[in-house]
């Protein structure tokens, strides 16, 4: 079955700071014409950085969308034209202060494909060298370090709820078990 929805008209209805909103006119496979709302967002990169003792670096931030603080792997938005790998290095350095000697792409993560353009590029990192954190003004976060096993426990009991952090922690666990990482 052909599932593709054909865009007839693209219309931006909101220009935001963080994202734009479009309301497009779209033709479905049965010929019906409907509207589809879409959030334009450049995407981002996220990094699970391991030290030599199998600890990982995590950041705790207030997430306004969820009205609570959340524990996550360091991540951030792609700058215009930025390569996801460079974004991963930059965010890791800014938020944790570390530069990684080894950085491995482990796949894409789509937060919610129905209405969001955002795509997050996931990375595994190790061989870390401390160069110092450089947060933006108005960026407040707590950096912490936790054993990977403890993080996996927290994921499995549902204490970690950030989607990319759940997916990356468990993907790295499974890849390590198969000696693929």
Selected from 65, 80, 136, 179, the binder of its own copies by CB under 8 A is: 65
Nearer to its own copies, 60 or 99 (CB): 60
Position of tokens 């795509």? 119
State how far the Cα of 148 lies from the Cα of 151, in Å rounded to an integer: 5
Nearer to its own copies, 110 or 131 (CB): 110
Under rule CB under 8 A, residue 136 binds its own copies: no
56, 152 in Cβ contact below 8 A? Answer: no
Cα radius of gyration (the chain): 19
State how far the Cα of 55 lies from the Cα of 149, in Å rounded to an integer: 8
169, 127 in Cβ contact below 8 A? Answer: no
Stretch that binds its own copies, among 79-87, 88-96, 123-131, 162-170 (CB under 8 A): 162-170
Under rule CB under 8 A, residue 148 binds its own copies: no
Q: 88: closest CA among 103, 101, 102?
A: 103
* Contacting residues toward its own copies, per CB under 8 A: 1, 3-5, 13-14, 16-19, 21, 23-24, 26, 28-30, 32, 34-39, 60-66, 69-70, 72, 106-120, 138, 140-142, 152, 155-156, 158, 161-164, 166-167, 170-171, 173-175, 178, 180
């Amino acid at each position: 079955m052909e599932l593709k929805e054909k865009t007839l008209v693209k219309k931006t209805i909101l220009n935001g700071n963080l994202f734009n909103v479009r309301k497009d006119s779209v033709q479905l496979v049965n010929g019906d014409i409907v509207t589809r709302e879409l959030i334009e967002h450049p995407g981002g990169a996220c990094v699970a950085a391991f030290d030599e003792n199998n600890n990982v670096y995590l950041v705790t931030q207030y997430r306004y969308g969820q009205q609570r603080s959340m524990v996550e792997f360091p991540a951030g938005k792609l700058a215009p034209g930025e390569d996801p790998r460079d974004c991963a290095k930059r965010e890791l350095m800014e938020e944790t202060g570390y530069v990684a000697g080894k950085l491995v792409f482990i796949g894409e993560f789509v937060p919610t494909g129905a209405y969001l353009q955002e795509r997050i590029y996931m990375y595994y990192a190790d061989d870390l060298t401390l160069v110092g954190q450089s947060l933006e003004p108005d960026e407040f976060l707590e950096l912490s370090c936790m054993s990977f096993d403890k993080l996996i426990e927290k994921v499995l009991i549902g204490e970690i709820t950030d989607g990319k952090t759940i997916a990356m922690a468990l993907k790295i666990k499974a890849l390590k078990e198969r000696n693929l990482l």
